Amino acid sequence: MLKIEKLAGIDIGSNAIRLLVSNVITYEKGGNQSFKKSALVRVPIRLGADTFLKGFISDENKERMIKAMKAFKLLMDVHGVENYYACATSAMREAKNGLDVANEIFEKTSVKINIIEGKKEAAIIFSTDLSELIENDKSYLYVDVGGGSTEITIFSNGKIINSKSFKIGTVRLLNKQKSFKDIWEHMEVWIKANTQKLNKPILIGSGGNINKIFKLSGKPIGKPLSLIYMKAQYHFLKKMSYDERISELDLNPDRADVIIPATKIYLSAMKWSNAKKIYVPKIGLADGIVKSLYFKKI
């Protein structure tokens, strides 16, 4: 007999907010589980444009968030969700009024938002199928590019060697509210120092932008993208106008601008680590939340 549990994860990022509802199916024989997506809703509320420019979340975006959480709460009720967890990352973490906004949202919607640090964010994502991709005899550089930060984790011999969160992300780069030269140099030095002794490291990329780049490539799931392809794609995207990226590549308006700085970050990480290919598993923070909920890690 099967046991089916409904769980949900809410990912409040710098570029968008997502609700993932999953059916967790536990099989009687062996007690194994499978996680099947029941619904995924993405709302393009760009909190990073507030925080990284002004230092706080605007009243307009706060009201949009309240409406989104009310809608998410209703959707979870309709789906019969038994448990959920909501995570907010760099935009709310760095906003002067981030905690106040989270408290007001809880008062008006009963949705509790947990503002988490970069290391916890990386740990939640690692609880997805990412761990199944790591082979003991190989070295990996896991790069998760968000709107406000980039989380990097080094794996070798099946173990985490080092990890770091950098305050550089797609929305930050897009708004260019300050020079990022020092952060770029810091990230380059850190990656080179932590990968120089690794033998043929492989990149694993996560985030909405690398998923879109992978989809555009037409590659079968499980096959990597090469460094040569990533270079060509970066120059191809840069040559197109914002309108062309929407009309010709069918990108969403809130994806058509951030995809270029995202590609630059992945490409830079590949160059600095001497990685020749990047794997793109379909994982994200919301997936990790659901798995962490099920296994009672959060």
| Tens of pLDDT, residues 261-279 | 999 999 999 999 999 999 9
The answer as to whether 15 is a domain residue is: yes
Q: Classify residue 128: in a domain, yes or no.
A: no
One domain for residues 111 and 166: no
Say if residue 97 is in the same domain as residue 154. no
Q: Is residue 126 part of a domain?
A: no
Cα 138 to chain centroid distance, Å, stands at 24
Q: Based on the domain organization, do 35 and 174 belong to the same domain?
A: no
Does the pLDDT of residue 124 top 90, yes or no?
A: no
Q: Looking at the structure, do residues 273 and 140 belong to the same domain, yes or no?
A: yes
Task: Check whether residue 137 and residue 278 sit in a common domain.
Answer: yes
pLDDT, residue 200, reads: 87
Do 92 and 155 fall within a single domain?
no
- Pseudo-torsion of CA 126, 214, 208, 292, nearest 10°? -20
The answer to whether residues 269 and 290 belong to one domain is no
Residues 110 and 145 in one domain: no
* pLDDT attached to residue 129: 67
Identify the domain containing residue 106 by its residue range. Answer: 3-119+286-294
Q: Is residue 212 part of a domain?
A: yes
Residue 125 lies in a domain: no
Of the chain, the percentage scoring pLDDT greater than 70 comes to 97
Instruction: Say how many domains are in the chain.
Output: 2
What are 220-261's pLDDT values in tens digits? 988 999 999 999 999 999 999 999 999 999 999 999 999 999
**Which CATH number characterizes residue 13's domain?**
3.30.420.40
- Per-residue pLDDT reduced to its tens digit, 201-215: 999 999 899 999 999
* Domain containing residue 178: CATH number: 3.30.420.150
| Mean pLDDT, the chain, integer | 92
Task: Tell whether 204 and 276 lie within a shared domain.
Answer: yes
Do the Cβ atoms of 122 and 153 come closer than 8 Å? yes
**C-alpha to C-alpha distance for 180 and 66, rounded to whole angstroms:** 32
- Please tell me the predicted confidence (pLDDT) of residue 107: 98
Question: Are 67 and 186 contained in the same domain?
Answer: no
Residue 94 lies in a domain: yes
> Quick one: 155 and 265 in the same domain?
yes
Q: Which two tokens stand for residue 188?
A: 């380059």
Q: Are 140 and 267 members of one domain?
A: yes
Per the domain annotation, does 82 fall within a domain?
A: yes
Ordered alpha helix ranges (H), 166-226: 170-175, 181-195, 208-217
Distances (CA, A) of 62 to 36, 66, 101: 31, 6, 7
pLDDT tens digits along 134-184: 787 889 999 999 998 999 999 888 788 898 989 999 999 987 756 788 999
Q: Residue 39 falls within a domain, yes or no?
A: yes
Q: Is the pLDDT of residue 37 over 80?
A: yes
CA nearest neighbour of 263 among 180, 162, 145:
145
Provide CB contacts within 8 A for 107, sequence distance 6+.
none
Residues 192-201 have a mean pLDDT of: 91
Please give the structure tokens belonging to residue 298. Answer: 């959060």
Q: Residue 60 pLDDT > 70, yes or no?
A: yes
127 pLDDT band, cuts 50/70/90, is: confident
Between CA 280 and CA 22 the distance in angstroms is 21
Give the tens place of pLDDT for each residue, 4-25. Answer: 999 999 999 999 999 999 999 9
